[in-house]
Amino acid sequence: MMRYKYLFLLCAVVAVSTGLVAFKKAKPRLLVFSKTAGFRHDCIPVAKVAMLKLGAENGYEVDTTEDASLFTAKNLARYKAVVFLNTTGDVLNDDQQSALEGYIRKGGGYAGVHAATDTEYDWPWYNQLVGAYFLSHPHQQTATLNVVDRNHPATAHLEPTWVRKDEWYNFKSIVPGLNVLIKIDESSYEGGKNDGNHPMSWYREFDGGRTFYTELGHTKESYSEPAFLKHILGGINYAAGKKK
């Protein structure tokens, strides 16, 4: 009889433990999208690995994909934020575009990295989402970045100036009202064409959701650079609505 009593208690403990696992809060999910229909950055493979590692270390489940068919209302509802990681060209069809619009309008988050501004030129809503379109770039070189807002999760770890090497975009169709985080000092490098008022990273609330963009992230080396990765993480945290 005593043996059955202990067996009963053991089963009860196992049942409680199983229940606790079952009710454990799921981690927020990120969809990292890197489809290209134009220029393809050779950093994309290492960038994907970096996003997976960043997620694992900071409480996110990360799905990486180049499959645009995942852009449905039902599937996007699973994610706290969508990251356009060096996408280029026309990557979503009309139905997929509508799904992303609906996702943002329901409070979803968007983070764009580098060539995300070299994407979807014929979709005006996307221009508003990402904040600007790519115009041109000079050769890769070292330049000075001025961190004009250090009160945001993407920039709180940075000093007022940040000197680094990357590929520096010039922009067109810059959306009014962006909350600019970082500007580039056009006197510190060759080829700047935004008349000295040259944003490199920004955020804002848009159409019911949250958007973040950083121009940084062309080079493979960026994705092993702690300051850059922390910059990306802060932007993703903002887009995902993660509290400090």
pLDDT at 24: 66
pLDDT at 242: 87
Q: Encoding tokens for residue 16?
A: 């409680």
For the chain, give the percent of residues with pLDDT over 70.
Answer: 89
pLDDT band per the 50, 70, 90 thresholds, residue 142: very high
pLDDT band per the 50, 70, 90 thresholds, residue 2: very low
Tens-digit pLDDT profile for residues 37-56: 999 999 999 999 999 999 99
The average pLDDT across 70-80 equals: 98
Q: Is the pLDDT of residue 12 over 70?
A: no
Q: Is the pLDDT of residue 19 over 70?
A: no
pLDDT at 25: 81
> In this structure, what are the phi and psi dihedrals at residue 212, rounded to the nearest 5 degrees?
-140, 145
pLDDT band per the 50, 70, 90 thresholds, residue 244: low
The beta strands (E) that lie in the chain are given as 29-33, 61-65, 81-85, 109-113, 133-136, 141-147, 161-166, 170-172, 179-184, 199-206, 209-214
pLDDT at 44: 98
Q: How many helices (H) and strands (E) does the chain have?
A: 6, 11
Q: Is the pLDDT of residue 65 over 90?
A: yes
Tens-digit pLDDT profile for residues 196-211: 999 999 999 999 999 9
Q: Is the pLDDT of residue 76 over 50?
A: yes
Which of 12 and 204 is assigned the larger pLDDT? 204
State pTM to two decimals: 0.90
